[in-house]
Amino acid sequence: MLSDAGHEVEETDVPRLADALDCYGKLVTSEFRSSWPRIRPLLTDDSARHMELSMEQMPPAGLDEYLRATADRHAIVRDWARFLAGFPLVLGPVSTEPPGDVEVLDAERNERIGLAIRLCTATTFAGVPAVAVPTGVEAGVPMGVQIIGPHFREDLCLAAASAVEAALGTFTPVG
């Protein structure tokens, strides 16, 4: 369907996915840990549980490690910019697995969810625009893809998302 809309489609790997997840984890858990007493009251119980599990899985970084992760983030952003210069749009999953039982959140499930949405995490970390487009419903739960573009090219993402929506139709949100 994207080919029919004039987009070239080619399978490829994104740059430094594992590095992006590692750096993101170090930076976010370190920043949340230091501010946790002020942040916790602002969150729902489920969101707080997710962050608590994440902080257990990725302990906060010390100053040297935090500074290295900050420098690594700049390199990851640069690598994504180079990558997207050759691939103006990237189509990937929002999640690599269906959500399953959303009522149960333990350390194993929290880690599985993090891995399932790793591309969303990496694109957020790299600061590139992306739009999630529903592509169907599985077991009553919406599934979808994300369309990722170069920095400051939200227009490309939205045009491709429109092409996907035109081809597949719209899906009623879970109500």
pLDDT, tens only, 123-143? 999 999 999 999 888 777 778
Q: Angle 13-90-138 (CA atoms, 0-180°, nearest 5)?
A: 95
Rounded Cα–Cα distance for residues 114 and 86 (Å): 28
pTM of the model: 0.85
For residue 122, the model assigns a pLDDT of: 97
The answer for residues whose C-beta is within 8 angstroms of residue 37's C-beta and 6 or more apart is: none
- Cα 9 to Cα 1: distance, rounded to the nearest angstrom: 10
* Domains of the chain, each with CATH number or no CATH: 17-168 (3.90.1300.10)
The pLDDT tens digits of the residues spanning 38-73 come to 999 999 998 899 889 888 888 889 999 999 999 999
CA dist., res. 133 & res. 155, Å (int)? 15
- Give the integer Cα–Cα distance in Å for 133 and 143: 8
Please list the residues that pair with 144 across neighbouring strands. 134
